C-alpha cells in the first residue's frame, strides 16, 4: 500500500467495522430480553380493569333498561292522570242550559 489515499480509506473502513462490531456486542442480540416486572404488573392491571369495565357496563345497561321501563310506565300514568283531570274539569255538555231573561224593569213609587 503505497498510496496515501488507500491507507486513509483502509483506516476509515477499519474504524467503521470496529464501531459497528462494538454496537452489535453492546446490544446483546443473542440474549433474551427479560420482561420488566413493572410492564407485567401493568398488563395484569389493564386486564383486571377491562374485566371490571365489562362488569360495570353490564350493570349500567341492566339498570338503564329498568329505568326506561319505569319511565315508560310513569309516562303512561301521567298521561292517564292528565286525561282524567281534563275530563273532570270540563263541565258536562248535557247539563248546560242557556236562559235568556227579559230586561229587568223596576217600578217605584215615591
What is the average per-residue pLDDT within 10-36? Answer: 86
Q: Which three cell numbers stand for residue 46?
A: 389493564
Q: Return the domain boundaries, the chain.
A: 1-30, 52-89
* CA nearest to 23, candidates 13, 35, 15: 15
- 25-60 pLDDT, tens per residue? 888 777 666 778 898 999 999 999 999 999 999 999
Taking the C-alpha atoms of residue 34 and residue 40, their distance in angstroms, rounded to an integer, is 11
Using the predicted structure, report yes or no on whether residue 10 has a pLDDT greater than 70: yes
pLDDT band at 3 (very low <50, low <70, confident <90, very high): confident
Using the predicted structure, report yes or no on whether residue 76 has a pLDDT greater than 90: yes
For residues 76 and 84, the answer to whether their CB atoms sit within 8 Å is no
* CA nearest to 10, candidates 18, 49, 79, 70: 18
Q: For residue 93, what pLDDT is reported?
A: 61
pTM of the model: 0.46
Taking the C-alpha atoms of residue 52 and residue 46, their distance in angstroms, rounded to an integer, is 10
Element holding 14 (H helix, E strand):
helix 4-27
Q: Which three cell numbers stand for residue 63?
A: 339498570
For residues 1 and 7, the answer to whether their CB atoms sit within 8 Å is yes
Amino acid at each position: 500500500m503505497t498510496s496515501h489515499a488507500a491507507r486513509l480509506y483502509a483506516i476509515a473502513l477499519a474504524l467503521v467495522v470496529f464501531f459497528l462490531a462494538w454496537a452489535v456486542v453492546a446490544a446483546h442480540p443473542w440474549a433474551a430480553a427479560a420482561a420488566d416486572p413493572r410492564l407485567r404488573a401493568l398488563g395484569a392491571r389493564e386486564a383486571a380493569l377491562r374485566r371490571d369495565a365489562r362488569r360495570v357496563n353490564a350493570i349500567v345497561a341492566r339498570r338503564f333498561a329498568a329505568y326506561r321501563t319505569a319511565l315508560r310506565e310513569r309516562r303512561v300514568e301521567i298521561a292517564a292522570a292528565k286525561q282524567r283531570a281534563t275530563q273532570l274539569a270540563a263541565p258536562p255538555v248535557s247539563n248546560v242550559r242557556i236562559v235568556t231573561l227579559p230586561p229587568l224593569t223596576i217600578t217605584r213609587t215615591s
